[in-house]
Structures are given as C-alpha cells and as structure tokens.
A and B are shown apart, each in its own frame.
Chain A
Amino acid sequence: MAKAPVRKQDNRTFVGLLVLVGVIGVAALGYVLTRPGEKPLTVDPSIPAGTAEGYLLGKPDAPVQVMEFGDFECPGCGNFANVTEPDVRARLVNTGIVAFRFFDFPLSVHRNSWTAHIAASCAADQGKFWEMHDRIYAGQNEWGLSGNGEVTTNPIKVFRNYATEIGLDVKKWEDCLAAKPHEARIKANAAEGTRRGITGTPTFIIGNKMLPSDHVIGYDEFKRYVDEALAAAGPDSGKKAAKVAPAQDGGAKKGQ
C-alpha cells in the first residue's frame, strides 16, 4: 500500500536530477559557445593548393634532409623552436650536416594559427621568414593558446609589433597580409603533410624516419636520428635527398 507514494517520491528525485543535469549541461555549453569571439584571418576555400615548398635553413644539398611539419600555435612546436632548435641550427645546420625545411601545417583547431602562418610567409617576401618564425614561437604566450583558448582575438596586432621588431617594411608586410598571396603555398605544405600521413605537430622527417609528434624532441634524440640518417645515407645522398622537397629558401638564412 505504501508503494505508490514511494514511487512518486522516486520519480520526483529522478526528474529533479534530470533537470539539474540539464541545467548544468546547458549552462556549460552556453558558456563555451558565448566566450568572446576571435578574429583570425579568413581563408578562401576556393583557392587551390599550389606546390609544396618548405622554408629552407642550411645548404639544400646537405647530407641529411630534415622536414618539420609545424603549426605556429602548437605548444610542442614552440617548445622545439625555443629549446631544441637553436642547438640544431648551431651544431647541425651551420655545420652543413642538415638541410632543415619548415612546412606549414596549421591545425584547424587553432584559431590564430593561419594568421601566424600568413604573417610568416609575408615576412619571407622580405627575406625574414626565420626571424618571424622565431619571434612568433617565442611570443606564443602573447597571441596563442592559454588554458581555455587563445589569449587574443586580434593576433595581427601582436604580429605587427614583431614585424617592426625584426625590421620589416611594415606597410609592405601589411599589404601582403591583406592580399594573402601565399595561401596556396601554405595549403600545399599542409596537403603534403596530410599526404605523408601526418596527424599532429610538430612532426619531423629525418632521412627516412618520421618521428611521432607525441613528445617534445630534445637535441640528443634529434641528433641520434640525424646520425642514423647520416650513416644510412652514404657519401652522395645529400643531392638525392634534396630532390624530396624543392629548395625554396623563403628568406632563409644559414643558421643562426
């Protein structure tokens, strides 16, 4: 006889819990949907991809060919650029052992990444790709990801400061940003990465080895792969390997 009131009480608890979960869920989704919007550059999807051309650092016919598929907003790429890459340049690129090519691989999940890649490609027009590359990575915390999203909705403002710092003709650089003549190249570089089965950044291809992007690679590990590639390459492999990716310096300088 007492079963009906108990069931009624149960139903009330059940419906109450459903309402509670519903309200919390809707509020949480509402929050993530209404966070301040971001203003990245828009990409015209009708522009066809061009030919993949990495930005070269070092001698194009160096015995070990290294390709990095990187995203300017990816923290792991930033870590590599800031911590490991200076050693790589000083000890492997400047010594003529490695030809290092950076290929754009902007991940769609990063709102400001395309803008950063376009900013760097426009710096390449003035022979300063690597200066912009380094500045963008060094300043990731000023324009990139932080906890729950990008720290700024206006990355161009930050990149304009970098353009001034590295001595670009800012007016020319801004004209390039507006015209975006390098979109096809960036797309092509990303498509090249996809064609090679790359899913994350930074991904390095050293000789014939593609390294997983699951951890930040340190200099010793990087050097180990270079040594393996050097041993496997043979004396005149540099010229052969250089054909893998055409040598487009994009404002390259020979190490730093």
Chain B
Amino acid sequence: MTRRNIIAVLSLAGVFLATYLSLFKLGIVGSLACGTGQCELVQASKWATFAGAPVALWGVGFYLAMFGASVAGSFGPLMESRAVSIALVVMSGWGVLFSGWLTYIELVKIEAICRWCVASAILVLALFALSVGELRERRRAG
C-alpha cells in the first residue's frame, strides 16, 4: 500500500465522521454519542457554522476532496502525478490550519471539547503528514 492509498482510506473514514456530525447539526440525528466531553455544547455554539454552512458540512467537502484526489491518484495515468501530491499537501495543509483554529476556539472560546472534533483534527494531521511524506518521496524519485 502506498501513502496515497492510506490517505484515501483515512479520508473515507473522515467523510463518515464529518457526515455524522453534519447529520446532528442539521437535526437529522437527535444526539451525539459523546461520552466524556461536551459535543453538543460545541455543536450548538455559534462557531459550529462557517460561511453560512455547518462546519461539519465543510468537513464532508474537505474529506471528499481528499478522498477523490487520492483515489484518482492511485490508479491509471495519475499514479505518478506530482500535481496530485501537491494538491494533497495543499488541501491537507489548509485542513490542519482550519482544524487548529477550531481546536483553539473549543479550548479558549467555548471552553468545551468535542471528542469527534478532536478525532477529526488528529485525522487531518495524519493526512497532512502522509501527504508531505508522499510529496517528498515523489521528489526523491524525480
């Protein structure tokens, strides 16, 4: 399995995670399985919406984009494409910044932690690390 393959698998998991949070935010599922933490407080806060849409829905878009690019780059003519590697680094880099900002908001402004948001932040960080590693590998290979 290549790093790109792993990125695709993790992105697909991210799609489901963000979809779950979106379904809750849109009122389609009634409560979050949160255990410890204050998922509902975080999701009910004003910061759970960005540019008119739920943050979780932006997450679905992000993970779908990562998934699409990594799957497309795993088969056929795009397999050796450096453009795909760069796109993955740029997208996941943006994701890290956005997740970092959200985590800051949780800790400092809302003063509550949603374990699903933390899981997503870790996932995004892993995607970024894998993307950077993948781009480096491609550069080395010429």
A positions within 8 Å CB-CB of B: 10-11, 13-14, 17-18, 21-22, 24-26, 28-29, 32-33, 35, 38, 107-111, 145, 147-150, 199-200, 212-214
Q: What is the chain A residue whose CB lies nearest that of B39?
A: A109
Q: Which of B62-80 contact A (CB under 8 A)?
A: 71, 74-75
Q: What is the chain B residue whose CB lies nearest that of A146?
A: B31
Whether the Cβ atoms of A109 and B23 lie closer than 8 Å is: no
Query: Within the assembled complex, what's the spacing in Å between the Cα atoms of A148 and B9?
Result: 27
What per-residue 1/0 map shows which CB atoms of B16-31 lie under 8 Å from chain A?
1001100110011111
Q: Could you list 6 A-B pairs, sorted by A, with CB under 8 Å?
A: A10-B1, A14-B9, A17-B1, A21-B16, A110-B31, A200-B112
Query: Within the assembled complex, what's the spacing in Å between the Cα atoms of A147 and B110?
Result: 22
Query: Within the assembled complex, what's the spacing in Å between the Cα atoms of A11 and B43?
Result: 38
Whether the Cβ atoms of B8 and A18 lie closer than 8 Å is: yes
One of A13, A24, A29, A111 near B30 (C-beta < 8 A): A111
Query: Within the assembled complex, what's the spacing in Å between the Cα atoms of A200 and B113?
Result: 13
Whether the Cβ atoms of B23 and A108 lie closer than 8 Å is: no
> Besides the contacts A29-B16, A108-B44, A200-B41, what 17 more A-B pairs have beta carbons closer than 8 Å?
A13-B1, A13-B5, A14-B1, A14-B8, A18-B8, A28-B16, A35-B29, A35-B30, A38-B30, A109-B31, A109-B44, A110-B31, A111-B30, A147-B33, A214-B38, A214-B110, A214-B111
Given contacts A25-B13, A199-B45, A212-B111, whether A10 and B30 have CB atoms under 8 Å apart is no
Whether the Cβ atoms of B33 and A148 lie closer than 8 Å is: yes
Whether the Cβ atoms of B44 and A18 lie closer than 8 Å is: no
Query: Within the assembled complex, what's the spacing in Å between the Cα atoms of A110 and B28?
Result: 12
Given contacts A28-B16, A29-B19, A32-B23, whether A107 and B30 have CB atoms under 8 Å apart is no
Whether the Cβ atoms of B43 and A109 lie closer than 8 Å is: yes
B positions within 8 Å CB-CB of A: 1-2, 5, 8-9, 12-13, 15-16, 19-20, 23-24, 27-33, 38, 40-41, 43-46, 71, 74-75, 110-112
One of A21, A28, A108, A214 near B12 (C-beta < 8 A): A21
One of B5, B29, B32, B71 near A33 (C-beta < 8 A): B29
Nearest chain B CB to A112 CB, angstrom units = 9
Query: Within the assembled complex, what's the spacing in Å between the Cα atoms of A145 and B110?
Result: 21
Whether the Cβ atoms of A25 and B16 lie closer than 8 Å is: yes
Query: Within the assembled complex, what's the spacing in Å between the Cα atoms of A10 and B11?
Result: 18
Whether the Cβ atoms of B41 and A22 lie closer than 8 Å is: no
* A25, A26, A149, A212 — most chain B CB neighbours (10 Å): A25
Q: Which B residues are in CB contact (< 8 Å) with A107? A: 40, 44
Q: Which A residues are in CB contact (< 8 Å) with B40? A: 107, 109-110
Whether the Cβ atoms of A14 and B30 lie closer than 8 Å is: no
One of A13, A21, A145 near B13 (C-beta < 8 A): A21
Query: Within the assembled complex, what's the spacing in Å between the Cα atoms of A197 and B50?
Result: 17
Whether the Cβ atoms of B27 and A108 lie closer than 8 Å is: yes
Whether the Cβ atoms of B23 and A29 lie closer than 8 Å is: yes
Q: What is the chain B residue whose CB lies nearest that of A33?
A: B29
Query: Within the assembled complex, what's the spacing in Å between the Cα atoms of A17 and B11?
Result: 12
Query: Within the assembled complex, what's the spacing in Å between the Cα atoms of A199 and B46?
Result: 7
Q: Which A residues are in CB contact (< 8 Å) with B16? A: 21, 24-26, 28-29
Q: Which A residues are in CB contact (< 8 Å) with B8? A: 14, 18
Whether the Cβ atoms of B23 and A199 lie closer than 8 Å is: no
Given contacts A214-B111, A214-B112, whether A32 and B13 have CB atoms under 8 Å apart is no
Q: Which A residues are in CB contact (< 8 Å) with B111? A: 212, 214
